[in-house]
Protein backbone atom coordinates (compact mmCIF):
# COMPACT_ATOMS: atom_id res chain seq x y z
CA UNK A 1 0.00 0.00 0.00
CA UNK A 2 1.04 3.60 -0.56
CA UNK A 3 1.63 6.36 2.00
CA UNK A 4 -1.39 7.12 4.16
CA UNK A 5 -3.19 10.45 4.18
CA UNK A 6 -6.02 12.37 5.83
CA UNK A 7 -8.27 14.65 3.78
CA UNK A 8 -9.79 17.61 5.68
CA UNK A 9 -12.78 19.55 4.32
CA UNK A 10 -12.97 16.65 1.90
CA UNK A 11 -16.27 17.42 0.18
CA UNK A 12 -17.33 14.63 -2.15
CA UNK A 13 -13.71 13.53 -2.47
CA UNK A 14 -12.12 15.08 -5.55
CA UNK A 15 -8.70 15.48 -3.95
CA UNK A 16 -8.91 12.05 -2.28
CA UNK A 17 -9.79 10.49 -5.62
CA UNK A 18 -6.85 12.10 -7.40
CA UNK A 19 -4.46 11.15 -4.59
CA UNK A 20 -5.84 7.62 -4.67
CA UNK A 21 -5.21 7.38 -8.40
CA UNK A 22 -1.58 8.36 -7.70
CA UNK A 23 -1.25 5.57 -5.14
CA UNK A 24 -1.74 7.53 -1.91
CA UNK A 25 -4.02 5.70 0.51
CA UNK A 26 -6.43 8.22 2.03
CA UNK A 27 -7.54 6.46 5.22
CA UNK A 28 -9.60 9.20 6.85
CA UNK A 29 -11.60 12.26 5.83
CA UNK A 30 -13.55 14.97 7.63
CA UNK A 31 -16.51 16.78 6.05
CA UNK A 32 -19.50 18.50 7.64
CA UNK A 33 -21.97 18.24 4.72
CA UNK A 34 -23.99 15.03 5.03
CA UNK A 35 -24.66 14.71 1.30
CA UNK A 36 -20.99 15.11 0.44
CA UNK A 37 -20.14 12.46 3.02
CA UNK A 38 -22.65 10.09 1.40
CA UNK A 39 -21.04 10.60 -2.00
CA UNK A 40 -17.54 10.31 -0.57
CA UNK A 41 -18.21 7.04 1.20
CA UNK A 42 -20.09 5.63 -1.78
CA UNK A 43 -17.31 6.42 -4.27
CA UNK A 44 -14.02 6.80 -2.39
CA UNK A 45 -14.15 4.56 0.67
CA UNK A 46 -16.13 4.23 3.86
CA UNK A 47 -13.85 6.38 5.99
CA UNK A 48 -15.33 9.90 5.80
CA UNK A 49 -16.62 11.26 9.10
CA UNK A 50 -19.52 13.72 9.07
CA UNK A 51 -18.20 16.13 11.66
CA UNK A 52 -17.85 19.82 12.47
CA UNK A 53 -14.07 20.07 12.47
CA UNK A 54 -14.14 22.91 15.01
CA UNK A 55 -15.50 20.36 17.49
CA UNK A 56 -13.79 17.26 16.10
CA UNK A 57 -10.23 17.50 17.35
CA UNK A 58 -7.22 15.70 15.87
CA UNK A 59 -7.19 13.53 18.97
CA UNK A 60 -10.79 12.49 18.28
CA UNK A 61 -9.90 11.78 14.66
CA UNK A 62 -7.05 9.51 15.71
CA UNK A 63 -9.32 7.66 18.12
CA UNK A 64 -11.98 7.14 15.43
CA UNK A 65 -9.49 5.92 12.85
CA UNK A 66 -8.04 3.43 15.32
CA UNK A 67 -11.54 2.32 16.31
CA UNK A 68 -12.40 1.60 12.67
CA UNK A 69 -9.04 -0.13 12.06
CA UNK A 70 -7.99 2.50 9.52
CA UNK A 71 -4.59 2.99 11.18
CA UNK A 72 -2.78 1.52 14.18
CA UNK A 73 -0.71 4.53 15.20
CA UNK A 74 -0.50 8.25 14.55
CA UNK A 75 2.86 8.09 12.80
CA UNK A 76 1.32 6.17 9.89
CA UNK A 77 -0.17 9.42 8.59
CA UNK A 78 2.40 10.82 6.16
CA UNK A 79 0.21 13.35 4.34
CA UNK A 80 -2.53 15.78 5.33
CA UNK A 81 -4.43 17.54 2.55
CA UNK A 82 -7.53 19.65 2.13
CA UNK A 83 -9.03 23.01 1.31
CA UNK A 84 -10.40 24.90 4.32
CA UNK A 85 -13.17 27.30 3.22
CA UNK A 86 -12.00 30.86 3.84
CA UNK A 87 -14.65 33.41 2.76
CA UNK A 88 -12.20 36.26 3.31
CA UNK A 89 -10.08 35.04 0.41
CA UNK A 90 -12.72 34.86 -2.28
CA UNK A 91 -12.95 37.75 -4.72
CA UNK A 92 -16.62 38.16 -3.82
CA UNK A 93 -15.84 38.35 -0.11
CA UNK A 94 -12.96 40.80 -0.15
CA UNK A 95 -15.15 43.92 -0.08
CA UNK A 96 -16.96 42.58 2.95
CA UNK A 97 -13.67 41.89 4.70
CA UNK A 98 -12.42 45.39 3.86
CA UNK A 99 -15.51 46.93 5.41
CA UNK A 100 -14.92 44.91 8.58
CA UNK A 101 -11.36 46.19 8.77
CA UNK A 102 -12.49 49.80 8.28
CA UNK A 103 -15.22 49.47 10.89
CA UNK A 104 -12.78 48.06 13.42
CA UNK A 105 -14.57 44.75 13.78
CA UNK A 106 -11.29 42.91 13.27
CA UNK A 107 -9.61 43.11 16.68
CA UNK A 108 -5.94 42.52 17.39
CA UNK A 109 -2.67 44.38 17.33
CA UNK A 110 -0.92 42.82 14.36
CA UNK A 111 -1.72 41.46 10.92
CA UNK A 112 -1.38 37.83 11.89
CA UNK A 113 -3.78 38.15 14.80
CA UNK A 114 -6.33 40.07 12.77
CA UNK A 115 -6.33 37.28 10.22
CA UNK A 116 -6.44 34.26 12.50
CA UNK A 117 -8.89 35.84 14.94
CA UNK A 118 -11.55 36.25 12.25
CA UNK A 119 -13.99 33.44 13.05
CA UNK A 120 -14.55 32.75 9.36
CA UNK A 121 -10.89 31.86 8.99
CA UNK A 122 -10.91 29.59 12.04
CA UNK A 123 -11.22 26.62 9.71
CA UNK A 124 -7.71 27.33 8.46
CA UNK A 125 -6.47 27.09 12.05
CA UNK A 126 -8.15 23.69 12.37
CA UNK A 127 -6.09 22.52 9.41
CA UNK A 128 -2.95 23.79 11.16
CA UNK A 129 -3.95 21.94 14.37
CA UNK A 130 -4.24 18.65 12.48
CA UNK A 131 -0.84 19.18 10.86
CA UNK A 132 0.72 20.06 14.22
CA UNK A 133 -0.79 16.97 15.89
CA UNK A 134 -0.17 14.31 13.24
CA UNK A 135 3.19 15.75 12.07
CA UNK A 136 2.87 14.44 8.49
CA UNK A 137 5.88 14.39 6.18
CA UNK A 138 3.93 16.55 3.71
CA UNK A 139 0.87 18.77 3.81
CA UNK A 140 -1.07 20.07 0.81
CA UNK A 141 -3.55 22.92 1.27
CA UNK A 142 -5.76 24.21 -1.54
CA UNK A 143 -7.63 27.50 -1.67
CA UNK A 144 -9.07 30.14 -3.97
CA UNK A 145 -6.81 32.25 -6.17
CA UNK A 146 -8.22 35.45 -4.66
CA UNK A 147 -6.07 34.85 -1.61
CA UNK A 148 -2.96 36.11 -3.45
CA UNK A 149 -4.24 39.66 -3.73
CA UNK A 150 -5.60 40.06 -0.21
CA UNK A 151 -3.65 41.92 2.44
CA UNK A 152 -4.15 42.68 6.10
CA UNK A 153 -4.85 46.20 7.33
CA UNK A 154 -1.10 46.68 7.85
CA UNK A 155 -0.36 45.58 4.28
CA UNK A 156 0.93 42.11 5.12
CA UNK A 157 0.07 39.56 2.40
CA UNK A 158 -2.28 36.90 3.75
CA UNK A 159 -0.15 34.26 2.03
CA UNK A 160 2.84 35.29 4.15
CA UNK A 161 0.73 35.15 7.29
CA UNK A 162 -0.38 31.60 6.47
CA UNK A 163 3.17 30.49 5.65
CA UNK A 164 4.37 31.94 8.97
CA UNK A 165 1.67 30.01 10.80
CA UNK A 166 2.93 26.72 9.35
CA UNK A 167 6.54 27.70 10.03
CA UNK A 168 5.63 28.30 13.67
CA UNK A 169 4.84 24.57 14.00
CA UNK A 170 8.05 23.45 12.35
CA UNK A 171 7.26 23.36 8.63
CA UNK A 172 10.02 25.54 7.20
CA UNK A 173 10.03 24.07 3.69
CA UNK A 174 6.92 25.58 2.07
CA UNK A 175 6.16 26.32 -1.56
CA UNK A 176 3.15 28.35 -2.72
CA UNK A 177 1.97 28.49 -6.31
CA UNK A 178 -1.18 29.11 -8.34
CA UNK A 179 -2.06 26.15 -10.52
CA UNK A 180 -4.43 26.31 -13.48
CA UNK A 181 -6.45 23.10 -13.70
CA UNK A 182 -6.68 23.43 -17.48
CA UNK A 183 -2.95 22.60 -17.61
CA UNK A 184 -3.60 19.21 -15.98
CA UNK A 185 -6.14 17.72 -18.42
CA UNK A 186 -9.11 19.36 -16.72
CA UNK A 187 -11.42 20.93 -19.37
CA UNK A 188 -12.02 23.97 -17.17
CA UNK A 189 -10.29 27.25 -16.40
CA UNK A 190 -9.97 26.86 -12.65
CA UNK A 191 -7.09 28.53 -10.84
CA UNK A 192 -6.31 27.56 -7.26
CA UNK A 193 -3.50 28.43 -4.89
CA UNK A 194 -1.68 25.36 -3.59
CA UNK A 195 0.48 25.31 -0.45
CA UNK A 196 2.85 22.36 -0.19
CA UNK A 197 4.94 22.01 2.97
CA UNK A 198 7.42 19.69 4.62
CA UNK A 199 9.75 19.62 7.61
CA UNK A 200 12.45 18.04 5.49
CA UNK A 201 15.09 20.20 3.82
CA UNK A 202 14.70 18.19 0.62
CA UNK A 203 13.36 20.46 -2.11
CA UNK A 204 9.62 20.19 -2.56
CA UNK A 205 8.01 21.38 -5.78
CA UNK A 206 4.65 21.77 -7.40
CA UNK A 207 3.64 19.59 -10.36
CA UNK A 208 4.82 20.86 -13.72
CA UNK A 209 2.24 21.86 -16.31
CA UNK A 210 1.16 20.07 -19.49
CA UNK A 211 0.00 21.39 -22.84
CA UNK A 212 -3.41 19.78 -22.48
CA UNK A 213 -5.54 22.51 -24.16
CA UNK A 214 -8.76 20.54 -23.70
CA UNK A 215 -12.06 22.15 -24.68
CA UNK A 216 -15.70 21.63 -23.78
CA UNK A 217 -16.15 19.98 -27.15
CA UNK A 218 -13.53 17.41 -26.12
CA UNK A 219 -15.39 16.77 -22.86
CA UNK A 220 -19.00 16.79 -24.14
CA UNK A 221 -18.77 15.50 -27.72
CA UNK A 222 -19.95 11.94 -26.99
CA UNK A 223 -22.87 12.83 -24.70
CA UNK A 224 -26.40 12.48 -26.10
CA UNK A 225 -28.57 15.53 -26.72
CA UNK A 226 -30.94 16.51 -23.92
CA UNK A 227 -34.61 17.34 -24.40
CA UNK A 228 -35.12 20.88 -23.04
CA UNK A 229 -38.71 20.04 -22.04
CA UNK A 230 -37.74 17.12 -19.81
CA UNK A 231 -34.14 17.83 -18.85
CA UNK A 232 -33.07 14.32 -19.81
CA UNK A 233 -31.90 12.62 -22.99
CA UNK A 234 -34.12 10.30 -24.98
CA UNK A 235 -31.23 7.87 -25.36
CA UNK A 236 -28.53 6.85 -22.88
CA UNK A 237 -25.93 5.63 -25.33
CA UNK A 238 -22.74 7.62 -25.75
CA UNK A 239 -21.42 8.27 -29.24
CA UNK A 240 -19.25 5.32 -30.39
CA UNK A 241 -15.52 5.89 -29.99
CA UNK A 242 -15.10 4.95 -33.65
CA UNK A 243 -16.82 8.24 -34.51
CA UNK A 244 -14.51 10.30 -32.27
CA UNK A 245 -11.43 11.88 -33.80
CA UNK A 246 -8.32 13.30 -32.17
CA UNK A 247 -5.78 11.50 -29.99
CA UNK A 248 -6.03 13.87 -27.05
CA UNK A 249 -9.83 13.90 -27.15
CA UNK A 250 -10.02 10.12 -27.29
CA UNK A 251 -7.65 9.90 -24.35
CA UNK A 252 -9.89 12.16 -22.27
CA UNK A 253 -13.06 10.27 -23.21
CA UNK A 254 -11.47 6.89 -22.45
CA UNK A 255 -10.59 8.23 -19.02
CA UNK A 256 -14.15 9.44 -18.45
CA UNK A 257 -15.67 6.15 -19.61
CA UNK A 258 -13.27 3.58 -18.21
CA UNK A 259 -11.64 4.98 -15.09
CA UNK A 260 -12.99 3.33 -11.96
CA UNK A 261 -13.47 5.11 -8.67
CA UNK A 262 -11.80 3.73 -5.56
CA UNK A 263 -14.77 2.17 -3.76
CA UNK A 264 -16.46 0.06 -6.44
CA UNK A 265 -15.80 -1.52 -9.82
CA UNK A 266 -18.76 -0.03 -11.67
CA UNK A 267 -18.09 1.64 -15.01
CA UNK A 268 -20.75 2.82 -17.43
CA UNK A 269 -18.72 2.28 -20.57
CA UNK A 270 -20.88 3.26 -23.53
CA UNK A 271 -23.81 4.55 -21.44
CA UNK A 272 -24.23 8.02 -19.97
CA UNK A 273 -24.93 8.53 -16.27
CA UNK A 274 -26.36 11.50 -14.33
CA UNK A 275 -26.83 13.24 -17.69
CA UNK A 276 -29.74 15.28 -16.39
CA UNK A 277 -30.40 19.01 -16.13
CA UNK A 278 -33.20 21.44 -15.37
CA UNK A 279 -36.20 21.77 -17.66
CA UNK A 280 -36.09 25.05 -19.60
CA UNK A 281 -38.93 27.37 -18.58
CA UNK A 282 -40.96 29.36 -21.15
CA UNK A 283 -39.07 32.64 -20.59
CA UNK A 284 -35.67 31.00 -20.98
CA UNK A 285 -36.81 29.20 -24.11
CA UNK A 286 -37.08 32.66 -25.62
CA UNK A 287 -33.75 33.88 -24.21
CA UNK A 288 -31.31 30.98 -24.58
CA UNK A 289 -31.33 30.83 -28.41
CA UNK A 290 -30.27 34.50 -28.46
CA UNK A 291 -27.21 34.00 -26.26
CA UNK A 292 -23.89 33.63 -28.09
CA UNK A 293 -20.50 32.64 -26.70
CA UNK A 294 -18.35 34.93 -28.83
CA UNK A 295 -16.79 31.99 -30.63
CA UNK A 296 -18.26 32.81 -34.05
CA UNK A 297 -19.03 36.51 -33.61
CA UNK A 298 -19.97 39.07 -30.95
CA UNK A 299 -20.81 37.69 -27.52
CA UNK A 300 -24.39 38.20 -26.36
CA UNK A 301 -25.12 38.05 -22.63
CA UNK A 302 -28.33 38.52 -20.66
CA UNK A 303 -27.77 42.29 -20.47
CA UNK A 304 -27.75 42.42 -24.27
CA UNK A 305 -31.06 40.56 -24.46
CA UNK A 306 -33.08 42.48 -21.90
CA UNK A 307 -34.62 44.84 -22.84
CA UNK A 308 -33.05 45.42 -26.28
CA UNK A 309 -34.10 42.08 -27.80
CA UNK A 310 -37.57 41.62 -26.33
CA UNK A 311 -39.15 41.29 -29.78
CA UNK A 312 -36.91 38.31 -30.56
CA UNK A 313 -37.64 36.80 -27.14
CA UNK A 314 -41.36 37.15 -27.78
CA UNK A 315 -41.03 35.30 -31.08
CA UNK A 316 -39.14 32.51 -29.36
CA UNK A 317 -41.72 31.86 -26.63
CA UNK A 318 -43.37 28.44 -26.77
CA UNK A 319 -46.96 28.09 -27.91
CA UNK A 320 -49.41 28.90 -25.14
CA UNK A 321 -47.36 31.70 -23.56
CA UNK A 322 -47.18 35.46 -24.05
CA UNK A 323 -45.29 38.52 -22.91
CA UNK A 324 -47.22 41.18 -21.02
CA UNK A 325 -46.72 44.87 -21.97
CA UNK A 326 -44.06 47.13 -20.48
CA UNK A 327 -46.57 48.56 -17.99
CA UNK A 328 -46.79 45.08 -16.47
CA UNK A 329 -43.07 44.44 -16.49
CA UNK A 330 -42.86 42.28 -19.62
CA UNK A 331 -43.80 39.28 -17.50
CA UNK A 332 -44.05 35.94 -19.29
CA UNK A 333 -47.35 34.23 -18.52
CA UNK A 334 -49.48 31.35 -19.76
CA UNK A 335 -52.53 31.94 -21.93
CA UNK A 336 -54.24 29.41 -19.68
CA UNK A 337 -55.46 31.53 -16.78
CA UNK A 338 -55.49 28.48 -14.53
CA UNK A 339 -51.70 28.46 -14.66
CA UNK A 340 -50.67 31.22 -12.27
CA UNK A 341 -46.87 30.97 -12.70
CA UNK A 342 -45.20 34.15 -13.96
CA UNK A 343 -41.60 34.63 -15.10
CA UNK A 344 -39.96 37.94 -14.23
CA UNK A 345 -36.83 39.60 -15.58
CA UNK A 346 -33.57 40.11 -13.72
CA UNK A 347 -32.18 43.59 -13.15
CA UNK A 348 -29.73 43.97 -16.04
CA UNK A 349 -27.59 46.40 -14.02
CA UNK A 350 -27.03 43.90 -11.22
CA UNK A 351 -27.21 40.67 -13.22
CA UNK A 352 -25.98 41.67 -16.66
CA UNK A 353 -23.92 38.51 -17.14
CA UNK A 354 -26.21 36.17 -15.23
CA UNK A 355 -27.01 34.22 -18.38
CA UNK A 356 -24.09 33.32 -20.61
CA UNK A 357 -23.27 30.67 -23.15
CA UNK A 358 -19.99 28.79 -22.85
CA UNK A 359 -17.57 28.41 -25.74
CA UNK A 360 -17.24 25.08 -27.52
CA UNK A 361 -13.58 25.66 -28.45
CA UNK A 362 -12.20 26.53 -25.01
CA UNK A 363 -12.05 25.03 -21.52
CA UNK A 364 -15.14 25.86 -19.51
CA UNK A 365 -15.34 28.58 -16.84
CA UNK A 366 -14.82 27.77 -13.17
CA UNK A 367 -17.57 25.45 -11.95
CA UNK A 368 -19.15 26.85 -8.78
CA UNK A 369 -21.45 25.59 -6.05
CA UNK A 370 -24.10 28.11 -7.16
CA UNK A 371 -25.07 25.53 -9.78
CA UNK A 372 -27.22 24.19 -6.97
CA UNK A 373 -29.42 27.30 -7.40
CA UNK A 374 -29.34 27.70 -11.18
CA UNK A 375 -27.10 27.02 -14.15
CA UNK A 376 -27.50 30.30 -16.02
CA UNK A 377 -23.77 30.99 -16.09
CA UNK A 378 -23.29 27.61 -17.76
CA UNK A 379 -25.51 27.57 -20.83
CA UNK A 380 -24.46 24.72 -23.11
CA UNK A 381 -22.28 25.75 -26.09
CA UNK A 382 -24.54 24.10 -28.66
CA UNK A 383 -27.86 23.30 -26.98
CA UNK A 384 -30.33 25.81 -25.54
CA UNK A 385 -30.18 24.62 -21.94
CA UNK A 386 -27.93 24.68 -18.88
CA UNK A 387 -25.39 21.93 -18.29
CA UNK A 388 -26.22 18.53 -16.86
CA UNK A 389 -24.80 17.02 -13.69
CA UNK A 390 -22.54 14.78 -15.76
CA UNK A 391 -21.30 17.69 -17.88
CA UNK A 392 -20.44 19.65 -14.74
CA UNK A 393 -18.66 16.58 -13.38
CA UNK A 394 -16.69 16.15 -16.60
CA UNK A 395 -15.68 19.81 -16.51
CA UNK A 396 -14.22 18.98 -13.10
CA UNK A 397 -12.54 15.82 -14.53
CA UNK A 398 -14.56 13.28 -12.53
CA UNK A 399 -14.85 9.93 -14.32
CA UNK A 400 -18.35 8.83 -15.33
CA UNK A 401 -18.20 6.05 -12.73
CA UNK A 402 -18.40 8.67 -9.96
CA UNK A 403 -22.00 8.70 -8.74
CA UNK A 404 -22.82 12.00 -7.05
CA UNK A 405 -26.25 10.66 -6.17
CA UNK A 406 -24.60 8.02 -3.93
CA UNK A 407 -26.85 5.34 -5.34
CA UNK A 408 -29.89 7.62 -5.32
CA UNK A 409 -29.42 9.05 -1.82
CA UNK A 410 -28.46 12.61 -2.83
CA UNK A 411 -30.87 15.02 -4.51
CA UNK A 412 -30.33 16.43 -7.99
CA UNK A 413 -29.50 19.98 -6.90
CA UNK A 414 -27.15 18.86 -4.11
CA UNK A 415 -25.16 16.92 -6.69
CA UNK A 416 -24.36 20.21 -8.43
CA UNK A 417 -23.23 21.73 -5.13
CA UNK A 418 -20.81 18.88 -4.47
CA UNK A 419 -19.32 19.18 -7.93
CA UNK A 420 -18.84 22.95 -7.66
CA UNK A 421 -17.06 22.62 -4.32
CA UNK A 422 -14.73 19.82 -5.42
CA UNK A 423 -11.05 19.77 -6.27
CA UNK A 424 -10.66 18.41 -9.83
CA UNK A 425 -9.42 14.80 -9.47
CA UNK A 426 -6.89 15.16 -12.29
CA UNK A 427 -5.38 18.20 -10.57
CA UNK A 428 -5.29 16.01 -7.45
CA UNK A 429 -3.53 13.31 -9.45
CA UNK A 430 -0.90 15.77 -10.67
CA UNK A 431 -0.19 16.92 -7.11
CA UNK A 432 -0.41 13.37 -5.79
CA UNK A 433 2.14 11.96 -8.21
CA UNK A 434 4.60 14.70 -7.24
CA UNK A 435 4.05 13.92 -3.54
CA UNK A 436 4.69 10.26 -4.27
CA UNK A 437 7.99 11.13 -5.96
CA UNK A 438 8.93 13.38 -3.05
CA UNK A 439 8.35 10.53 -0.59
CA UNK A 440 10.41 8.16 -2.70
CA UNK A 441 7.54 6.17 -4.22
CA UNK A 442 6.56 5.42 -7.78
CA UNK A 443 3.06 6.74 -8.58
CA UNK A 444 0.46 4.09 -9.36
CA UNK A 445 -1.05 6.28 -12.09
CA UNK A 446 0.32 9.35 -13.86
CA UNK A 447 -0.98 11.94 -16.28
CA UNK A 448 1.85 11.00 -18.64
CA UNK A 449 0.79 7.37 -18.87
CA UNK A 450 -2.93 8.10 -18.89
CA UNK A 451 -2.83 10.65 -21.71
CA UNK A 452 0.39 9.69 -23.46
CA UNK A 453 2.09 13.07 -23.12
CA UNK A 454 5.08 14.63 -21.43
CA UNK A 455 5.08 17.61 -19.07
CA UNK A 456 6.51 20.90 -20.25
CA UNK A 457 9.45 20.40 -17.89
CA UNK A 458 10.60 16.91 -16.92
CA UNK A 459 10.59 15.93 -13.25
CA UNK A 460 13.89 16.90 -11.66
CA UNK A 461 14.91 19.55 -14.17
Measured between alpha carbons, how far is 406 from 51 in angstroms, rounded to an integer? 19
Angle (deg, nearest 10), helices 122-134 and 58-67:
60
DSSP annotation of 263 reads S
b/e 215-248 (16+ beta carbons within 10 angstroms → b): bbbbbbbbbbebebeebebeeeebeeeeebeeeb
Contact 10, 29 (CB under 8 A): yes
Q: Please name the residues in contact with 337: beta carbons below 8 A apart, sequence gap of 6 or more.
A: none
Query: How many residues in the chain?
Result: 461
Q: Are strands 191-198 and 173-180 parallel, antiparallel or unpaired?
A: antiparallel
Choose among 390, 377, 396, 268: nearest CA to 11.
Answer: 396
Q: Which residues pair with 334 in a beta bridge?
A: 321
Whether 86 sits among the annotated catalytic residues: the reply is yes
Q: Are strands 48-50 and 25-31 parallel, antiparallel or unpaired?
A: parallel
The one catalytic residue among 8, 30, 44, 86: 86
What three-state secondary structure class fits 135? coil
Choose among 256, 242, 252: nearest CA to 213.
Answer: 252
Peptide bond between residue 357 and the one before it cis (omega within 30 degrees of 0):
no
Spacing of C-alpha 293 from chain mean position: 22
Q: Please name the residues in contact with 233: beta carbons below 8 A apart, sequence gap of 6 or more.
A: 223, 224, 225, 226, 227, 272, 275
Contact 438, 138 (CB under 8 A): yes
Q: Please name the residues in contact with 316: beta carbons below 8 A apart, sequence gap of 6 or more.
A: 285, 286, 287, 289, 290
* Active-site residue set: 86
Amino acid sequence: MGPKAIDLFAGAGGLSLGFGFAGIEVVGAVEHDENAVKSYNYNIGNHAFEKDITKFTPQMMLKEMKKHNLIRRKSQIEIICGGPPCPGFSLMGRSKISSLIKSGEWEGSDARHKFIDDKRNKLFLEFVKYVEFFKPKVFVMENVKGMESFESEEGAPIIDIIVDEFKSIGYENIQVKILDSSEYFVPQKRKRIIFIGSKSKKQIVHPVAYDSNLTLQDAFIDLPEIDILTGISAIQKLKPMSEIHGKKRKGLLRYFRNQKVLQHEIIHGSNSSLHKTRKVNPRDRGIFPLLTSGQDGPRILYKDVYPAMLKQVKKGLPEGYKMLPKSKGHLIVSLDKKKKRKWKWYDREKFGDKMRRMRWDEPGPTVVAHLEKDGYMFVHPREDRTISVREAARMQSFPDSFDFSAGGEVSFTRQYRQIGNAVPPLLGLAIGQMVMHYLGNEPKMTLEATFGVKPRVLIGE
